[in-house]
Amino acid sequence: MQSILSIKNVSKTYASGFQALKSIDLEIRRGEIFALLGPNGAGKTTLIGIVCGIVKASSGTVTVDGHDNVRDYRGAREMIGLVPQELHTDSFETVWATCTFSRGLFGKPANPAFVEKVLKDVSLWDKKDSKIMTLSGGMKRRVLIAKALAHEPDILFLDEPTAGVDVELRKDMWEVVRALRAKGVTIILTTHYIEEAELMADRVGVINKGELILVEDKAELMRKLGKKQMTFELQQKLDAVPEALAPYKLALAADGRALTYTYEAQGEHRGVTRLVEELLRQNIRLKDIATTQSSLEDIFVDLVRKDG
Ligand SMILES: Nc1ncnc2c1ncn2[C@@H]1O[C@H](COP(=O)(O)OP(=O)(O)OP(=O)(O)O)[C@@H](O)[C@H]1O
Ligand SMILES: [Mg+2]
């Protein structure tokens, strides 16, 4: 698939001397939802800032659908919508004025019907005449989203779009994101709610200490790095794991009434069959069996920990 955004060898050292990004290479595919994950201070907002032309890169290039984002800043910026992480919305302006102004700023002709639809999509229509400073935090975030959508961007950056918003808005947000994707908009989001990335993303990138340590299809990532656990609930209490079962590295529950086996989700499953046979041979009677699979969150925590 053709990439719509090309980030090549981008580094950033802030004036303080702190290196926030170390030669980042990343290609974003047209129409995908890409989730950028990483701990606090990893460099996510810095990278988004560079792509959007808010932060100056120390080196490297960013090309947005063929427009170099420095030499052809306007061409690149026109394509991008940004929902920033920080709320700078202590404005006397009304919701309506802010959104229509944002459209004009990006050289799009006035289209009140479209702005109305956007405001309805984010449940702000009844607040259209309110001054932004009079809105609650979550409503202000909705304004930022509406503002970014008002100029119909081809690429939408959502930097922690659901931080501090209620469950209702979070659901609305994901509806909006899905609808945008269906229209062909490319979406790049950061989130600390990893289950959101698990739910929404086509691909996942993990950034840690300014380095992109992984970029992978979400499904592939979960297949490759995912772990499964099988828990055997026992009819009788065990004091210790029998010697014959040692190779399976089973964990015995504190009450001695359950054994847990952990294995690679991708691996061959003959191990499970052999284990069950061995349990029967050992005369261990089972009451129930349950399996669980690791989440993207488990994988993420593992990756970042390994990266030290
Ligand atoms: N203007 C600045 N001057 C100096 N250092 C900065 C500046 N902005 C960010 N940093 C530093 O760069 C690093 C990356 O910050 P950034 O905001 O990109 O992280 P992040 O991944 O978005 O984190 P979070 O998850 O908390 O939003 C941090 O160590 C931060 O302190
Ligand atoms: Mg950030």
pLDDT in tens, 195-253: 888 889 999 999 999 999 999 999 888 877 778 889 999 999 999 999 999 999 999 99
**pLDDT tens-digit map of 250-295:** 999 999 999 999 888 776 667 888 899 999 999 999 999 998 887 7
Tell me, using a 6 A CB cutoff, whether residue 42 lines ligand 1. yes
Ligand with minimal distance to 24 CA: 1
Phi, psi of 100 (to 5 degrees): -70, -35
Tell me, using a 6 A CB cutoff, whether residue 41 lines ligand 1. yes
Ligand with minimal distance to 47 CA: 1
Neighbours of ion ligand 2 (CB under 5 A): 44-45, 85
**pLDDT tens-digit map of 134-184:** 998 888 888 988 999 998 999 999 998 887 778 887 888 888 888 889 999
Cα of 199 from ligand 1 centre, angstroms? 26
Could you give the 3-state DSSP secondary structure of residue 189? strand
User: What is the C-alpha to C-alpha distance for residues 101 and 107, in angstroms, rounded to an integer?
Assistant: 10
Tell me, using a 6 A CB cutoff, whether residue 44 lines ligand 1. yes
Could you give the 3-state DSSP secondary structure of residue 256? coil
**pLDDT tens-digit map of 295-305:** 788 888 888 88
Q: What is the secondary structure of 21-80 as a DSSP string?
A: EEEEEEEEETT-EEEEE--TTSSHHHHHHHHTTSS--SEEEEEETTEETTTTHHHHHHTE
Q: What is the secondary structure of 125-174 as a DSSP string?
A: GGGTTSBGGGS-HHHHHHHHHHHHHHT--SEEEEESTTTT--HHHHHHHH
User: What is the C-alpha to C-alpha distance for residues 80 and 76, in angstroms, rounded to an integer?
Assistant: 7
Tell me, using a 6 A CB cutoff, whether residue 16 lines ligand 1. yes
User: What is the C-alpha to C-alpha distance for residues 23 and 295, in angstroms, rounded to an integer?
Assistant: 29
Tell me, using a 6 A CB cutoff, whether residue 43 lines ligand 1. yes
**In Å, how far from its chain's centre is CA 182?**
18
The domains found in the chain, sorted by start residue, are 3-222 (3.40.50.300), 226-306 (3.30.70)
Phi, psi of 48 (to 5 degrees): -65, -40
User: What is the C-alpha to C-alpha distance for residues 247 and 51, in angstroms, rounded to an integer?
Assistant: 51
From 21, 36, 45, mutation site for ligand 1 pocket: most ligand atoms within 8 A of C-beta: 45
**pTM (2 decimals)?**
0.83
